[in-house]
Structure 1
Amino acid sequence: MLAMLVTARAADEPQKGSPLITQEKLQGELKDATIRLLDARLKAEYEKGHIPGAVWVDTKALQALARPESITNETAWASALAPLGLGADIRVVFIYDNARQHDAARVWWSLVYAGVPRVGLVDGGFDRWTKDKRPVSTEPAKVSLAQFRPQLHDKSLASRDEVGKAESNVLDARSAEEYSGERKSRTNPTAPTGHIPGARNLDSYSLVDTDGQFLDTDSIRRRFAEAGFVTDKSVIAYSAGGNRSAIAIFALERIGVPSRHYVGGFGDWIREAKRTVVQGKNPRD
């Protein structure tokens, strides 16, 4: 049965303050039907066991929607979101993975971009959940299709040209080795290495621990300050293709810093031969 149509917030109004729920608190709210819990792991992992009530989300399908030809296609976004059952009765959505927020944060960003009203992350991954002997289910969650009408938050995106401007406050959320050019792409070893001129490096995995739990807000602020970021100015974040930069964007929101996403990332930047790349540890040389 098709649930009632849900319309997102206005496209120029990003959600304020994405929630981060502890696993202890989530366990106490598993029977709350107004919470939609999404599992962003591989489907085979979901089928072996997941947090009770969690709905599997196709992370790769949402990633594909961020391509230039589809990122503004409201019909495609509506089709991708329908199986998640985001009906009018759902007051908040939480996402988890088992990859230090690599996939969960990308799903979070995708839903926020699409205009889902209230979206957050589970603090910590599935391994942490099982280590603490919390309940696990192999029963697939049963949800009704919900016709969600997206209102895409286009102003949260940054273009190639904007990233390349000297005055931009740009964050490269990849590893230090990728940023400096020391590490080649595993999928395309002949591709240019390095970073976008002017970008500063802060590895997004330094913002979470090995269990996928975020640092406290004071520690997050300190990490950004140590990396040389001006946090009273909007930050443009990128990574290789949008996942790790989504972690950084969530962390920035935690400390009240506005941001935009160059979601195509370094992979998109080097597709144009005219685009300059910089190697080494400094932003511009």
Structure 2
Amino acid sequence: MKTKCKHPALGWSIVLCSITLMACQVLASSAFAVENGGYPRSDFLVSTQWLQDHLNDPNVRIIDRQDTLPDEDLFAKGHIPNALRMTTDAVKGTKLGIPEMLIAKNFIDYLESHGISSDHHVVIVAPCSKLQAATRVFWALELFGHTKVSLLDGGTDKWLAEKRPWTTDVKSYPKTSYKVDLQRQRLLTGEELFGWLGLFKQLDIVLIDARKADEYAGQKMSRASEKLGRIPGAVSLPFDRLLVGDSYKEFKTANEIKQAFDSVGAAPAKNVFFSCVSGCAASVDYFAARLLGFPKAAVYDGSWIEWSRKDYPVEAGDQAGTNGSGDKEKAPKAKSPAKKPELPRTGC
């Protein structure tokens, strides 16, 4: 069977042959092996010591994601020296009636007004409880073609636990221009996903849902959504399965992350897409995939908030059905709330 695909992550006008895909999967599974617990893209994480050594490096810009709610100002109470405060409106807004979407102009305006160019090495820092706020910025920067971007491993929790420099001084840089090199393959739309239902196997797609297990199973309503359930064919991998630690969270070793992805059928040779409630938790899974060098990873920005508000099919139950992976059976119906839920304040 031959199927043409038009999403960049699948290849513009590339003809995929199922026999060839099976061969690629076999080769990829044997070729992809992480040795000594190292990440293929270890440059995506920096240590607390590295960041302290580069606090005054003119080629480094630090983005602080402590403040994720409209009335928060944790940044004013203290932050890593030379860090720049970023609030949620830089990475989330309403687009075509769907809330919590990335608005390109808002994001680029933030970068330029804070003196961040496409040549800077951007390091994103956040408390571990707000890791998804940091990884969302990472995803957005990759979407716009930024090549030097990292997260602080262990976040500000580890930084403070090690008694490293902390200040209330506010740093500013001269405004600059930002050169966008759009990487469209990093972004997935609901319309694209809807068009691929029933073809996941043929197109070598793995759709990962990063929400909590009860939301995935349709047992609990996700915030700001209008239906229970999930996108048909999605598999479950809550982002906290990729983290380790008590006082602060760090990403598990590469082999442990690989095992988690293996358990849901995700591999570097496949088109691995991520969804959640609004594209935040999904960006944690996305970041982990990029750490392991997955080249065809993408985030569904609208995620469940958008999908549940559209006339799209849904699926429920503990296990993924076949609607995304081959058959076109009708997805199980999930009960919708009698009253449209209020949109809560976002924490990402």
TM-score range, shorter chain: 0.7 to 0.9
Q: CA deviation at 1:205?
A: 1.7
2:74 corresponds to 1:36: no
AA at the equivalent of 1:87: S
- Matches for 1:127-138 after TM superposition, within 5 Å: 127-138=157-168
AA at the equivalent of 1:20: L
AA at the equivalent of 1:206: R
Q: CA deviation at 1:127?
A: 1.9
Query: Which of 246, 260, 263 in structure 1 is aligned with 2:283?
Result: 246
Q: CA deviation at 1:86?
A: 1.3
Partner Cα separation in structure 2 for residue 60 and residue 52 of structure 1: 23
- Name the counterpart of 1:197: 232
Deviates more, 1:160-169 or 1:130-139: 160-169
Q: Secondary structure at the match of 1:149?
A: coil
Instruction: Tell me which structure has the larger Cα radius of gyration.
Output: 2
CA contact (8 A) 2:244 2:251 kept: yes
2:301 corresponds to 1:271: no
Partner Cα separation in structure 1 for residue 102 and residue 256 of structure 2: 35
Partner Cα separation in structure 2 for residue 254 and residue 218 of structure 1: 11
- Name the counterpart of 1:6: none
2:192 corresponds to 1:155: no
Indicate how the Cα distance of structure 1 residues 240 and 234 shifts in structure 2: closer, same or farther if over 3 A, else same.
same
Partner Cα separation in structure 2 for residue 72 and residue 64 of structure 1: 6
Q: Secondary structure at the match of 2:230?
A: coil
CA contact (8 A) 1:74 1:150 kept: no
Query: Which of 165, 175, 181 in structure 1 is aligned with 2:212?
Result: 175
Q: CA deviation at 1:232?
A: 2.5
- Name the counterpart of 2:33: none
CA contact (8 A) 1:209 1:215 kept: yes
Partner Cα separation in structure 1 for residue 92 and residue 103 of structure 2: 13
- Matches for 1:14-53 after TM superposition, within 5 Å: 17=41, 19-42=44-67, 44-53=73-82
CA contact (8 A) 2:91 2:106 kept: no
- Name the counterpart of 2:23: none
CA contact (8 A) 1:163 1:236 kept: no
CA contact (8 A) 2:272 2:297 kept: yes
2:280 corresponds to 1:255: no
Runs of 4+ residues over 6 Å off in structure 1: 69-73
Q: CA deviation at 1:228?
A: 3.4
Query: Which of 149, 154, 169 in structure 2 is aligned with 1:119?
Result: 149
2:314 corresponds to 1:280: no
Partner Cα separation in structure 2 for residue 127 and residue 174 of structure 1: 23
Q: Secondary structure at the match of 1:178?
A: helix
Q: CA deviation at 1:72?
A: 9.1
- Name the counterpart of 1:4: none
**TM-score scaled to structure 1, two decimals?**
0.85
Q: For structure 1, which runs of at least 5 residues remain unmatched after alignment? A: 1-10
- Name the counterpart of 2:121: 92
AA at the equivalent of 1:272: K
C-alpha offsets along residues 218-242 of structure 1, whole Å, 9 cap, x if unaligned? 1100111123334431201111001
**TM-score scaled to structure 2, two decimals?**
0.70
- Name the counterpart of 1:8: none
Partner Cα separation in structure 1 for residue 104 and residue 191 of structure 2: 24
Deviates more, 1:202-211 or 1:168-177: 202-211
Partner Cα separation in structure 2 for residue 93 and residue 77 of structure 1: 14
Indicate how the Cα distance of structure 1 residues 198 and 74 shifts in structure 2: closer, same or farther if over 3 A, else same.
closer
Q: CA deviation at 1:134?
A: 1.0
Partner Cα separation in structure 2 for residue 208 and residue 135 of structure 1: 25
Partner Cα separation in structure 2 for residue 129 and residue 93 of structure 1: 17
Q: CA deviation at 1:114?
A: 2.0
Query: Which of 71, 83, 89 in structure 2 is aligned with 1:54?
Result: 83
Q: Secondary structure at the match of 1:249?
A: helix
CA contact (8 A) 1:72 1:152 kept: no
Q: CA deviation at 1:193?
A: 1.2
C-alpha offsets along residues 109-150 of structure 1, whole Å, 9 cap, x if unaligned? 112212223111111121221111111011011211112132
Query: Which of 74, 79, 97 in structure 1 is aligned with 2:109?
Result: 79
Q: CA deviation at 1:69?
A: 8.4
Partner Cα separation in structure 2 for residue 95 and residue 72 of structure 1: 17
- Name the counterpart of 2:263: 226
Q: Secondary structure at the match of 2:123?
A: strand
CA contact (8 A) 2:48 2:159 kept: yes
